[in-house]
Amino acid sequence: MEIIYVKDYDEMSEMGFQVIKEVIETKESPVVSLNTGGTPKGLYKYLVEAINQGLNINDTTILSLDEYIGPKDAVYTVKNYMHKRLIDLVNQKPKNIFLMDGDTQDTDEEIKRYKELLAKYPRDIQLLGLGTNAHLGANEPGTPFDTMMFLAQHHESTIQATMREYGIDREEAPTEMLTLGLKEIAEAKNVLLLASGKHKAQAVKNLVEGEITPDCPASILRDCKNATIIVDEEAASLLSKK
């Protein structure tokens, strides 16, 4: 795992964008798997700007890391987020957009469908955020490293984070999510994790310096040669060596 230290949120966003841009520019049929949350909002701003200025995405396939179980048009869905922050803002159409359906009556069938897509479109890059408890996607602490796509239950701290991020109350907040498993996350050709802010400092410390264990899902990345993490000063503030 490579660690890139940057100053602040904006520098993290710009650098993360550059990594995604390089994939889009250099691969023949790029496959980019994206995530949501507060962390990548800045990256998507840079990406939208670049696409509208000519970065060609006509051959790019977009996949997703996860999707909340809930009504399609709920404020917190990955679908909504992707449309609001990327798809509806650009003047080009990607080749494919394959998001998960969290409104399905049959999650087993949806998992089967999405796994087939993953097999057909091997990911050139998987973008990730970091939960305050070091979860990846919805792989909460305790999830085995060999887990494949599944219907995950959120821990309470994740539900609280979702409530804060989307300004919703406990009753409205989703408690379950379809997510790629840790094994699939690590299998992407490149894995890029972004972390910014003091509230991520402990999770970053556990990821970089703690034990490699399912109790810290993100620690799976430590031994991955294909993984890069970009951390800003606040997120890196608890690390003993930099």
What CA–CA distance (Å, rounded) separates 63 from 123?
8
Radius of gyration of the chain measured on its C-alpha atoms: 17
Contact mark string toward ligand GLP, 154..173, x via CB under 6 A: ----x------x--------
Q: Is 14 a catalytic residue?
A: no
Is 135 labeled as catalytic in the residue annotation?
yes
**Contact region for ligand GLP (CB under 6 A) — 5-13, 47-55, 130-138, 211-219?**
130-138
- Specify the stretch interacting with ligand GLP by CB under 6 A; choose among 92-100, 131-139, 210-218, 224-232: 131-139
Considering the candidates 35, 133, 139, 206, report the single residue annotated as catalytic. Answer: 133
Q: How far apart are the first and last CA of the chain?
A: 14
DSSP 107-168: HHHHHHHHHHHHHHS--SEEEE---TT--BTTB-TT--TT--SEEEEPPHHHHHHHHHHHT-
Q: Is there a catalytic annotation at residue 66? A: yes
Q: Does 37 bind ligand GLP (CB under 6 A)?
A: yes
181 binds ligand GLP (CB under 6 A): no
Q: Does 174 bind ligand GLP (CB under 6 A)?
A: no
Member of 66, 110, 184, 234 binding ligand GLP (CB under 6 A): 66
Q: Kindly list the strands in the beta sheet with 66-68, ordered across the sheet, starting from the edge strand earlier in the chain.
A: 66-68, 176-179, 150-153
The active-site residue, picked from 101, 124, 135, 155, is 135
Find the catalytic residue in 110, 140, 232, 234: 140
Near ligand GLP by CB under 6 A: residue from 10, 11, 27, 38: 38
Tokens of 31: 């496959």
Who contacts 236 (Cβ-Cβ below 8 Å, separation ≥6)? 5, 201, 204, 242
Q: By the 8 A CB rule, do 178 and 66 touch?
A: yes
Is 94 or 200 the residue whose CB approaches ligand GLP more closely? 200
Contacting ligand GLP (CB under 6 A), which of 31, 62, 138, 173?
138
**Catalytic: 91?**
no
- Residues labelled as active-site residues: 66, 133, 135, 140
